[in-house]
């Protein structure tokens, strides 16, 4: 599946309308907590499984979203973090886990 439309909603959520017209909603905190970049992956490995980061409002603001080829998006967060490339499969799994 590929996104047809991606929109940041005012309630700190990301809305994705997929090419099959299904829709996913992902909380920005969940998106940031599951950033796939090497730095974030390394930080998660150091934390206990019960660790839940708390983000301030400015850390959850998205400055831009750029499409990467035909498989992913790059999110540039307002706090400067910009190395996480979120594949469409990763986004779909995050959305699926949020709804279960």
Express each pLDDT in 17-60 by its tens digit: 999 999 999 999 999 999 999 998 898 888 877 777 788 888 89
* Rg for the chain, CA atoms, rounded: 13
Q: How far apart are alpha carbons 86 and 77 in whole angstroms?
A: 13
Confirm if 84 and 74 have CB atoms less than 8 A apart: yes
Which of 4-8, 49-53, 58-62, 81-85 bottoms out in mean pLDDT, i.e. has the lowest?
49-53
| Domain boundary assignment for the chain | 3-99
| Structure confidence at residue 100 (pLDDT) | 53
CATH number attached to the domain at 3-99: 3.30.2020.30
């Amino acid at each position: 599946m590929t996104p047809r439309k991606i929109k940041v909603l005012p309630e700190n959520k990301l809305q994705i309308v997929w090419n099959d017209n299904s829709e996913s909603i992902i909380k920005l905190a969940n998106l940031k907590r599951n950033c796939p970049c090497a730095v974030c992956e390394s930080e998660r490995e150091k934390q206990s499984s019960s660790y839940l980061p708390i983000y301030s409002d400015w850390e959850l603001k998205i400055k831009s979203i750029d499409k990467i080829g035909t498989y992913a998006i790059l999110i540039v967060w307002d706090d400067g973090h910009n190395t996480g490339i979120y594949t469409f499969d990763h986004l779909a799994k995050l959305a699926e886990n949020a709804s279960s």
